[in-house]
Structure 1
């Protein structure tokens, strides 16, 4: 889950910690979403675990870092979250032009501006208000794809190449890594193309000598972990 902060207004910077701490209870009830083709809509829940009300705004974007139009509508896009409450939202697909032979990935982005705690006497004129938010992946999954997402995670193909260790995803599903190692040495997952292997795509880690056993842990549709291993030929 990606967390990002959005500057809302500028007042007294020394008091900004108060506003941020109020927003610590804001979140989404899951770490990823799967939208099956023809579903009509799927649900997602926002939560406010703090003692202050919040105004939350949500949308689906083509990228995680900022808003970029995507073929989905969130209803309602703007909600008031009462203290220690939850609110269910619906996500609707509004396009039929997405690829039918593979998954597409989008990002559900939700941000909230915290209000003041009841009875504290806080004034909006004397606080910095920050929006705190979350971004999670939304996978659009067409009907009739061969195999399953779990098959895709299990059947990744690792091979030695001149440049190092190559992984190939021959499936129509995205595969996200939680952990990857070769002979007990962790391999970096800091790049987006390494962290998540797109359908029918590959990625190569530059290594002087790729040999031994590859162990990888993937993230499933529900945010759980699956562990696999393969000895390089």
Structure 2
């Protein structure tokens, strides 16, 4: 990279933000198009329902401002965002290298969110969707482990509690979700007990039928992906390695 201090500047901005709000590690996305703001003529991706959990745009702005003072016109916001997504490392996760040289996006449309998996997709649909993007079933399960950080809003899982509880949902955990949803659609439920720490407890939760979203629990309910869930639940180092490799592939 033509700006040697870029990594340090972005790292410092992210660490300072995480110290103020540990939940931020789960909210930094890696798609450059989510940096583009909505206009009167166009609703951008960042304002879609699927991306409402993305936050931390001010962290990117702060890093960009500092970088412009040191290396004007050299580091794109897209590269800054990609570097910032490695915040999982400061939450206890793996560190991975990323290629630089991304161009900043010019357009962002809410229709592009059709590429995000719906919260009710089953394992076969997820495998097909990720397969079209060049990812294997195992890589998809590894990337799903990013849900070890953060929370989900009630609106994204409340259908599992209607018309009879989802049979793939533990009855005790269902009561927890009911209680959370009593706070309304925006009430938030952690994906696993350590919402601010990057670990493999997400997979342990799936083994207990305590996955928050249908797209989480289906990974354990399906024979196509269950073995990967069990593998990562048993071997955190293996999960970290595969997650690291899949993230580099995304970048």
TM-score, normalization: structure 2?
Answer: 0.23
TM-score, normalization: structure 1?
Answer: 0.24
Q: Between Structure 1 and Structure 2, which shows a larger proportion of helix residues? A: 2
Larger radius of gyration: 1
Q: Between Structure 1 and Structure 2, which shows a larger proportion of strand residues? A: 1
